[in-house]
A = this chain, B = another copy of it.
Amino acid sequence: MRAGMVAELPALGAAIDQLLSSGGKRIRPTLVLLAGGLLDADRERTVTLAAAAELLHTATLVHDDLIDGALLRRGFPTLNAQMEDGATVLIGDYIFARAAHLAAETESLPLIKKFATTLAIIVNGELDQLLGSATGDHRRDYFDRVYAKTGSLFELAAESPALIAGAEQGTIRAMKKFGRQIGVAFQIVDDILDFTGNADLVGKPVGGDLRQGLITLPTIYHLEANPDDSDKIDALVAGTLDAEQAARLVETIRHSGAVGKALDEASDYIESCIRLLDDFPSDRPEHLALIELAKYVLNRTL
């Protein structure tokens, strides 16, 4: 991932180095490498793909943090906290370009097309969110957003090794579904952690999504059980609920059964993922590792 990039942008070397080193969980490249190992995909092309997927993710974060005005990510100052907006836009673009080149180096045309399509889906989802193009059906809007934001890139991460391996259509479809479901579960857990996580470890205030008017799965379950709170939620989305009332709502949801229901739903996705692996040879170490990865997505606390 880092090869060349620091050297080619000497004036930005330190910032780019930190951006790529601070790293986070690296769950997308891990998924690529495990799926590639399971399917016996060419090792070098799989590693290239893993770097491409993580860089695509990184580039979208760079632009996201700029747009949201976020100052910290993974405990480090964001690029937009360190330099002017224009430079941040261009560094994101540059990382897109590097990611696209790595994708091309896999020499798989279906993979390259999938890569471009995934970028379009992610950006389109962010535009929908920014412009408030929601349908008003909370559950539908939520899962549309989750697929665009997270499911699509996890789908790419799991399906693309199958493309590199020249796998059969059935295998490609199964890996694609595995990726999409583990991605959706990952995002649901992320949204739960926004309510239940340790604010210091997660690096954001508890209930930050809801305070910003973002309706996630715990809130959806809370609304189903407490339809009377609908007005309060509408006011929050509209930005007219005062901070104290918003904090009280976050606390209510945090300690309600809604969190457990959301976790159950994530758990269903993970169980489905693990069942999909039944059809794959279990003699490879990657088989067990993918099961462990799926369980980790559900049980993580960060």
- A residues lining the B interface (CB < 8 Å): 8-12, 60, 63, 66-67, 84-87, 89-94, 96-98, 100-101, 103-105, 107, 109, 112-113, 115-117, 119-120, 123-124, 126-128, 130-131, 133
B119 to A9, Cβ gap below 8 A?
no
Q: Contact partner of A97 among B11, B104, B119, B133, CB < 8 A?
A: B119
Inter-chain CA distance A117–B103, complex, in Å, is 12
B127 to A12, Cβ gap below 8 A?
yes
Q: A8-B124, A133-B11 are in contact. Are A100 and B87 (CB under 8 A)?
A: no
Chain B residue nearest in CB terms to A98: B120
Q: Which of A11, A12, A97 has the most CB of B within 10 A?
A: A97
Q: Which of A92, A96, A103 has the most CB of B within 10 A?
A: A96
B119 to A96, Cβ gap below 8 A?
yes
Main secondary structure of the interface of A (DSSP, over half): helix
How many copies are assembled?
2
Q: Contact partner of A116 among B11, B90, B97, B124, CB < 8 A?
A: B97
Q: Which of A87, A93, A130 has the most CB of B within 10 A?
A: A93
Shortest distance from the beta carbon of A75 to any chain B beta carbon, whole Å: 24
B113 to A101, Cβ gap below 8 A?
yes
B96 to A67, Cβ gap below 8 A?
no
Shortest distance from the beta carbon of A144 to any chain B beta carbon, whole Å: 13
Q: Contact partner of A124 among B9, B63, B66, B101, CB < 8 A?
A: B9
Chain B residue nearest in CB terms to A96: B96
Shortest distance from the beta carbon of A64 to any chain B beta carbon, whole Å: 9
Chain B residue nearest in CB terms to A8: B124
B67 to A93, Cβ gap below 8 A?
no
B11 to A124, Cβ gap below 8 A?
no
